[in-house]
Amino acid sequence: MMKRTDLMLIACAICCISACNSPSEPSELERLASACVADDLNSCNQLALILQANGNSTEAANLLAKTCQAGLKIACSNLGEQYYDGSGVKKDLQISYGLF
C-alpha cells in the first residue's frame, strides 16, 4: 500500500517530468500516479519506468523497490536492472542477480 510520502514523491516526479513534456503527457502521468496510489502495481511499475527515462533514476528505484516488495515480479526485474547498471542506486551485482 502506498503511503503519503510515496504520493508526495510521485507528485514531485510528475511535476518534474511534465515541466519538460508536452501538455498531453501530464494527463497520462496523472492517471498512472492516481492508479499507483490506489495500489495498481502495474501503474507503479510504468510510472517508475517513465521516471527513469526522464532522468529521475533514484525516484524510479524507490518506486520500483516498493512495487517489488508489494509482489510485482517485473518491478523486481526492473529494479535488478537498475542495480546492475548503477542507475539511481549503488551498483551491486549481487543484489541485481537476486532480483532477476
- pLDDT of 50 > 90? The answer is yes
Number of domains in the chain: 1
Q: Contact, 65 vs 59, CB < 8 A? A: no
Whole-structure pTM value: 0.76
Kindly give the residue spans of alpha helices, DSSP state H, lying in 3-99: 4-18, 25-37, 41-53, 57-69, 73-85, 93-99
* Domain residue limits at 62: 4-99
Instruction: Give the tens place of pLDDT for each residue, 80-100.
Output: 999 999 999 999 999 999 998
> Who contacts 100 (Cβ-Cβ below 8 Å, separation ≥6)?
76, 77, 80
Q: With bands split at pLDDT 50, 70 and 90, how would you rate the model's confidence at 76? A: very high
Q: Which amino acid is at 94?
A: Q
Exposed/middle/buried for residue 87 (C-beta within 10 Å: 0-12, 13-18, 19+): middle
